[in-house]
Amino acid sequence: MTPEHLPHADRYRQGLECLQRVDGPQGVAVVQDLAESFPDFARYLVEFPFGDIYARRSLGLREREIATVAALTALGNAAPQLRVHIHAALHVGCSPAQIVETVMQMAVYAGFPAALNGLAVVREVFLAHGIALPLP
Return residues touching its own copies (CB under 8 A).
4, 7-9, 11-12, 34, 36-41, 44-45, 47-49, 52-54, 56, 58-59, 63-64, 66-78, 80-81, 95, 97-98, 100-102, 104-117, 119-120, 123, 133-134
Nearer to its own copies, 72 or 86 (CB): 72
Sequence letter at residue 52: D
Nearer to its own copies, 4 or 29 (CB): 4
DSSP annotation of 58 reads: S
Q: From the CB of 67, what's the least distance to its own copies, in Å?
A: 4
Q: From the CB of 47, what's the least distance to its own copies, in Å?
A: 8
Nearer to its own copies, 86 or 115 (CB): 115
Give Cα separations from 54 to 16, 65, 67, 99 (angstroms).
11, 10, 12, 19
Nearer to its own copies, 108 or 128 (CB): 108
DSSP string, 72-135: HHHH-S-HHHHHHHHHHHHHTT--HHHHHHHHHHHHHHH-HHHHHHHHHHHHHHHHHTT--SS-
